[in-house]
Amino acid sequence: MQTQKMKEKLNHYIDAGFPIIYINTFEEMKADGIIAEVSKSVDRGVIEWDAANGRRDWSINNKGLVKCQCNLSIDEDDSLVNMLRIINDEEELSQKILVIKDAQSFFDDPRITSIIKDIGHKILSGLEATIFIVTPILSIPPELEKFTTVIEIGYLIDEEISEVISNFINEYELQQVAQNLFDEMVVAFKGLTEYEIKNILALAYSNDGSFTKSDLKLIHEQKQQVIKKSGILEMIQLNESLDDIGGLDNLKNWLKKKATVFNNLKKAMEFGVDMPKGVLIAGVPGCGKSLNAKAAAKLFDVPLLRLDMGRLLGKYVGESEANMRKAISLAEAISPCVLWIDEIEKAFAGIGESGGGAEVTTRLFGNFLTWMQEKSSATFVVATANDILKLPPELLRKGRFDEIFYVGLPNDEERKKIFEIHITKRRKLDFVKINITELIQKTKGYSGSDIEGVVKDSIEAVFATGKSELTTSDLLEAIKNTHSLSEIMKQELEKMSKDYENRKFKNASF
């Protein structure tokens, strides 16, 4: 959310007498700045408590925000519970904003939740005060839920990122950065907080005292770290392209068509093309579904973010939904990007069943569907699934994904391409002497991953025996020692392919 919009919203909440506003953020300093401005515009004093300093009262003068330690001497009790007891008084709280930080560590203390609840009641009965809980962890105790409104300090928009970079350059009196490098830096910083951006800028600057093209790599590396630490999304390195995928031409052509839109978004939107939503790729394990997610991001020339659905689930009320919101807003902040949801059927297993866990999953699923339906950002979702029959039918309805593809075992022509890709990647010069036709005949029912395994094993065996080149017989030997996927799960695969045919999903191959 833009800072200005956020201030307006908070003003509105305070005027409307909302008792507790829960600001979910890592950026305490930014939250301080916003609260300081809001307190000025609604003309209220601010009392803050945090674990390190105890109570501090705010004053805002021409130097900015000043926090003054209260009259307590060092041996007095400056615990949260004591401060709340002292302050829980209509006169003391009237026309005040009470800011509580580090609160999540104290929510297990019933005395604290009880006093906050009591203040909440007073505010609802007309006391002109507001409690702000500022914390990076969303954990609302159930007894405070009905008093609480959650606000997230969202990611910076492009103009705000530009301002952070410009301010940094001016503050350190650095050489101005060429416009195209500046623009690339703005894109690279998307999805990071102001604090994180400043840290990375400081790191880049400390290397050689200026910003150069080489710093983009550093920004990307640091950003990968930051996103990983969020615990929900991971930024995946892009090594594979469409040329690394044997077969699946139907799917690849479809992705190429989408790429013409994605690579010319502005023009396409002006022309009246709809924003691409995404694709669901389902089918046989080890046959290139993940490979396509990676190749799509490379083709679209955008970052690839993997969403770990298992890690969305949290133990506090609303935490899972908040994690989902966080993941989606981070992906939208980074967009244009590809958001890859691997094994989506596992994330949404148990939908519609009763019980705590299933209810959370059902709510998460509802949030996800609504987002997919209404999504207008350039966040292209690639969802991959092994077993589509485990997916709730609502997900398969029109309007969620642009298309659903079924990936089956590779046919003769596709196996030929897959052998070629994996052999030339490792032993380019040997490839011309290989009798591919023989390999194809012997590998009916092999998955792409089985074929890759055969190539790797045979090359390793050749090396171990000290021979200098890979031959057809080495590969045939490895094939003999391999149990193909269709050998291992014959019945499941037959059933799967019948199910997909009945449902008339598009075949990724032709």
Contacts with ligand ATP by CB under 6 A lie at 245-248, 285-291, 384, 386, 418, 421, 448-449, 452
Shortest separation between residue 226's beta carbon and ligand ATP, angstroms: 26
179 to 194, 329, 350, 425: CA distances (angstroms): 21, 27, 51, 39
Cβ atoms of residues 93 and 119 within 8 Å: yes
Helix 319-334 vs helix 356-374: angle between axes, to the nearest 10 degrees? 30
Query: Whose Cβ is closer to ligand ATP: residue 371's or residue 405's?
Result: 405
Which is nearer to ligand ATP, 120 or 246 (by Cβ)? 246
Residue with the shortest CB distance to ligand ATP:
448
CB neighbours of 295 closer than 8 A, spacing ≥ 6?
240, 241, 242, 244, 245, 252, 255
Q: To the nearest whole angstrom, how small is the minimum distance from the Cβ of residue 12 to ligand ATP?
A: 47
* Residue 455 CA to its chain's centroid (Å): 35
Residue 293 beta carbon to ligand ATP: minimum distance, rounded to whole angstroms: 8
What are the CA-CA distances from residue 423 to residues 264, 441, 470, 473 (Å)? 35, 17, 9, 14
Minimum distance from CB of 467 to ligand ATP (Å)? 24
Among residues 35 and 339, whose Cβ is nearest to ligand ATP? Answer: 339
Helices 448-464, 472-480: crossing angle, 10 deg rounding: 120
> How many angstroms separate the CA atoms of 476 and 485, rounded?
17
Taking the complex as a whole, the smallest distance from the CB of residue 284 to ligand ATP amounts, in Å, to: 7
Q: How far is the CB of 445 from ligand ATP (least distance, A)?
A: 14
Q: How far is the CB of 387 from ligand ATP (least distance, A)?
A: 10
How far apart are the C-alpha atoms of 479 and 96, rounded to whole Å? 76
Nearer to ligand ATP, 19 or 288 (CB): 288
Residue 455: exposure state from Cβ atoms within 10 A (0-12, 13-18, ≥19): buried
Shortest distance, CB of residue 410 to ligand ATP, whole angstroms?
Answer: 6
Residue ranges in 43-178 assigned as alpha helix (H) = 80-87, 90-93, 110-124, 158-171
Is the Cβ–Cβ distance between 372 and 400 less than 8 Å? yes
Closer CB to ligand ATP, 130 or 443, in the complex: 443
CB-nearer residue toward ligand ATP: 138 or 280: 280
Enclosing H/E stretch for 307: strand 304-307
Instruction: For the chain, give the number of residues.
Output: 510
Nearer to ligand ATP, 243 or 394 (CB): 243
Q: Closest CB to ligand ATP among 27 and 420?
A: 420
